Amino acid sequence: MSVMSNELKALIFDVDGTLADNERDGHRVAFNLAFRDAGLGWEWDPATYDELLKVFGGKERIRHFIEHQQPDFDWPKDLDAFIRDLHRQKTQRYVELLRSGAIPLRPGVERLLREARSAGLRLAIASTTTFENVTTLLTVTLGDESIAWFDVIACGDVVARKKPAPDIYEYALEQLGLAARECLAIEDTQSGLAAASAAGLVTVVTANGATRNQDFSGAAIAVDQLGEPGQGFEVLAGDAGNARWVDVDFLRRLFRS
Q: Binding of ligand XBP at residue 106 (CB under 6 A)?
A: no
Query: Can you list the pairs that 134-143 forms with residues at least 24 positions away whose Cβ atoms lie under 8 Å?
Result: 134/15, 136/95, 136/98, 136/99, 137/15, 137/19, 137/20, 137/22, 137/98, 137/103, 140/98, 140/99, 140/101, 140/103, 141/20, 141/103, 141/104, 141/105, 141/110, 142/105, 142/110, 142/113
Return the amino acid letter for 28: R
Q: Binding of ligand XBP at residue 15 (CB under 6 A)?
A: yes
| Catalytic positions | 14, 16
Pick the closer one to ligand XBP by CB: 56 or 250.
56
Question: Which position among 21, 122, 130, 225 is part of the footprint of ligand XBP (CB under 6 A)?
Answer: 130
Output the CA angle 47-70-58, nearest 5 degrees.
60
CB of 63 to ligand XBP, least distance (A): 11
Footprint of ligand XBP on 22-61 (CB under 6 A): 23, 27, 56-58
Q: In a 10 Å sphere around its CB, with 0-12 CB exposed, 13-18 middle and 19+ buried, how is residue 149 labelled?
A: middle
Residue 126 near residue 191 (C-beta atoms within 8 A): no
CB of 216 to ligand XBP, least distance (A): 15
Q: Binding of ligand XBP at residue 128 (CB under 6 A)?
A: yes
CB of 163 to ligand XBP, least distance (A): 5
Q: Which secondary-structure segment (H or E) carries 46?
A: helix 46-52
Residue 18 near residue 188 (C-beta atoms within 8 A): yes
CB of 257 to ligand XBP, least distance (A): 26
Pick the closer one to ligand XBP by CB: 49 or 245.
49
Q: Binding of ligand XBP at residue 164 (CB under 6 A)?
A: no
CB of 94 to ligand XBP, least distance (A): 7
Pick the closer one to ligand XBP by CB: 6 or 25.
25
> Closest residue to ligand XBP, Cβ-based?
58
Q: Which stretch binds ligand XBP (CB under 6 A): 15-23, 137-145, 198-206, 246-254?
A: 15-23
Q: What distance in Å separates the CA atoms of residue 107 and residue 113, rounded to the nearest whole number?
A: 12
Q: Binding of ligand XBP at residue 129 (CB under 6 A)?
A: yes
Query: How large is the C-alpha radius of gyration of the chain?
Result: 18
Q: Which residues of the chain form contacts with ligand XBP (CB under 6 A)?
A: 14-17, 23, 27, 56-58, 90, 127-130, 133, 163, 192
